[in-house]
Amino acid sequence: MFAHSGRSYVREADKVAWSGRSYVSEADTVVWSGRSYVREADTVVWSGRSYVREADTVVWSGRSYVSEADTVVRSGRSYVREADTVVWSGRSYVREADTVVWSGRSYVREADTVVWSGRSYVREADTVVWSGRSYVREADTVVWSGRSYVREADTG
């Protein structure tokens, strides 16, 4: 268990409670307040910029789109997603399997590996390196710089 002041939270295994921009994550289930959403396995409900994602089906309100199987059509900032490949216009990116390339705020995600530019980070399995507000997460170990913390297994 870990408690961080300011933007404090507690994370136990796959359970997270974050205050301020608080959320709870249980395995693949997330409840996020403010810009709150719930994610269960592949199901997501996001409020404000809300959407629902079930398996490969997504409904996004406001900046809404629908994704059925691996195909997505987004209105305004429309894109098409086939299998795990996504082409997003405007803030375009391509996602193949678990690989993502996002332009502008670009990143690449391969399996559990992410490289994000600007606020860039790398995530490999449970390992994350975030620049700027950088941190490293390995399995259940997290090191966050600036607003830094360390979490190892269930020990904070």
- The model carries a pTM of 0.11
How high is the pLDDT of residue 100?
31
Q: What ranges do the domains of the chain cover?
A: 84-156
How high is the pLDDT of residue 88?
30
How high is the pLDDT of residue 66?
33
How high is the pLDDT of residue 68?
32
How high is the pLDDT of residue 29?
30
- Which segments in the chain show pLDDT lower than 50? 1-156
> Strand locations in 7-134, DSSP E?
9-12, 15-18, 23-26, 29-32, 37-40, 43-46, 51-54, 57-60, 65-68, 71-74, 79-82, 85-88, 93-96, 99-102, 107-110, 113-116, 121-124, 127-130
